[in-house]
Amino acid sequence: MKIIVLGGDGFCGWPTSLKLAGAGHQVTIVDNLSRRGIDLALSSGSLTEIASVHDRIAAARQHVGDVCHENTDIAKDHAALRDLIAGVMPDAVIQFAEQRAAPYSMIGDSERRYTVDNNITGTHNLCSALVDIKPDTHLVHLGTMGVYGYSREFGKIPEGYLDIEIKSTRQDTQILYPANPGSIYHMTKCLDQLLFQFYNKNWGLRVTDLHQGIVWGVETDETRLDPRLINRFDYDGVFGTVLNRFISQAVNDVPLTVYGTGGQSRAFIHIADSARCLQLAVENPPEPGERPRIFNQVSEVRSVRNLADMLADQWGAGIRYVTNPRKELPENELEVENAGLQSLGFKPTLLNNRLIEDVRFIADATRKNFNADNVLSSPRW
């Protein structure tokens, strides 16, 4: 298949691009490298030293398969995006190219506006270009579990649509699950869902929206093939996600930074599972005419406290309970349906010592890049 991967230089997009190229697909990465720019602006960045995109592509072509890169801003340069789509005429486009950190989106006015402008306009430019140029393309979007909020208010979280009964008519129906975002970033993912609903209703655009949990881990089989293919490893208080942060903290003798009580339950998925799910979604498109297909891309649910206790028991790491910088439920239960991807062949990998040791090994090898000033750098909201 011909596949365009928007945001293919990022943490999830890079291993996914390699996975798809390794499976024989022709992959065009479109990335404006804005994330590398944000690393510099925040004086943070990846623990692993990621190669330039030029070197990444050279190594990918040598070891993995057919991958190229175009430097285009999909939010700001609509004409270039249209030209690209017309040039490639893709079977599928994967949309990873959004500003993805909740804390970054809550820093202040310019970050709030950037996150909304970048995420909503980029995704809308894509929908608008596809229906004009190649309307049968399968659009695969990375959404988030955060669109649902994280509660059991409506029971187990279904895959996108909630079964309801209309009180006045006693009719059963399904509605898009009520959006309940906890940050400007998560809000953009809720708005993306409405764009897909309308483009699907009006033009029949084929969409798979993957509501992904927190991704952890660093390497996949493909990123290990050459040091130039190594994936990024965020550990800072803005872009770092909780489990990778905790592992890097434990290795660097920093007490694990549990926000609040640590009673927050979240869904998790390993980076290799994430790339595998993307491959399954792309290779099994929805039927023409189907409403936007929504899958929860998650492997298991864990609480923050449970993760911290696990690392404390295993490695003797200290734990520091800090005032939660976020406005979120202090404690929550979470149960998530994930039958959709499993029906396509996904077998979730649960947290295990070997995979945790893999991350610890990388964190240990990159200790010199760990800057303790970046650990508690989250804004408050």
- Positions that interact with ligand NAD (CB under 6 A): 7, 9-13, 31-35, 73-75, 96-98, 100, 118, 122, 142, 144, 212, 214-215, 241
11 binds ligand USQ (CB under 6 A): no
Quick check: 304 binds ligand USQ (CB under 6 A)? Answer: yes
Stretch of 158-166, 200-208, 224-232, 257-265 contacting ligand USQ, by CB under 6 A:
257-265
Identify whether the C-beta of residue 160 lies closer than 8 Å to the C-beta of residue 211: yes
The span from the CA of 78 to the CA of 136, in Å, is 20
Give 176 or 214: the residue with its C-beta nearer to ligand NAD. 214
Which partner, ligand USQ, ligand NAD, none, binds residue 326 by CB below 5 to 8 Å per kind?
Answer: ligand USQ
Among 32, 118, 257, 296, binds ligand USQ (CB under 6 A): 257
Residue 180's nearest CA partner among 192, 189, 172 is: 189
Q: Is 114 a catalytic residue?
A: no
Contact 103, 44 (CB under 8 A): no
Between CA 94 and CA 115 the distance in angstroms is 19
Q: First and final CA of the chain: distance in angstroms? A: 43
Contact status: 242 vs ligand USQ (CB under 6 A): yes
Q: What does 9 bind: ligand USQ, ligand NAD, none (CB cut-off 5 to 8 Å by kind)? A: ligand NAD
**CB of 146 vs ligand NAD, minimal distance in Å:** 8
Kindly state whether residue 123 participates in binding ligand USQ, applying the rule CB under 6 A.
Answer: no
Residue 57 backbone phi and psi in degrees, to 5:
-65, -40
**From the list ligand NAD, ligand USQ, none, partner contacted by residue 158 (C-beta under 5 to 8 A by kind):** none
Question: What's phi and psi for 173, nearest 5 deg?
Answer: -155, 180
The CB-of-287 to ligand NAD minimum distance in angstroms stands at 25
Cα–Cα distances (Å) from 32 to 56, 59, 70, 200, in that order, read 15, 20, 8, 27
- Residue 13 interaction partner, one of ligand NAD, ligand USQ, none, beta carbon < 5-8 Å per kind: ligand NAD
Phi, psi of 120 (to 5 degrees): -75, -45
Residue 74's binding partner out of ligand USQ, ligand NAD, none, with CB under 5 to 8 Å set by partner kind: ligand NAD
Q: What residues does 296 pair with on adjacent strands?
A: 211
Look up 115 and say whether it is catalytic.
Answer: no
Q: Of these, 57, 258, 301, 356, which contacts ligand USQ (CB under 6 A)? A: 258
**DSSP 8-state secondary structure symbol assigned to residue 29:** E
Q: Which does 206 bind (CB under 5 to 8 A by kind): ligand NAD, ligand USQ, none?
A: none
Catalytic residue among 16, 48, 144, 257: 144
Active site residue 144: yes
Q: Which of ligand NAD, ligand USQ, none lies near 266, with the C-beta cut-off 5 to 8 A by kind? A: ligand USQ
Q: Which residue has the tokens 């993957």?
A: 210
Catalytic residue among 123, 189, 199, 241: 189
- The Cα 139–Cα 91 span in angstroms is 9
Is residue 337 part of the contact set for ligand USQ (CB under 6 A)? no
Count residues binding ligand USQ (CB under 6 A): 22
> How far apart are CB 319 and ligand USQ at their closest, in Å?
10
Single-letter residue type at 136: D
Q: How many CB atoms lie within 10 A of CB 180?
A: 15
CB of 105 to ligand USQ, least distance (A): 10
Strand partners, 338: none
Pinpoint the alpha helices (H) of the chain.
13-22, 34-42, 53-63, 78-88, 102-105, 109-133, 184-203, 242-251, 271-283, 304-315, 339-343, 353-365
24 Rama sector, left if φ>0, alpha if ψ -120 to 50, beta otherwise: left
Site of interaction with ligand USQ (CB under 6 A): 100-102, 144-146, 213-214, 241-242, 245, 257-259, 262, 264, 266-267, 304, 324, 326, 328
Tell me which residues are annotated as active site: 144, 185, 189
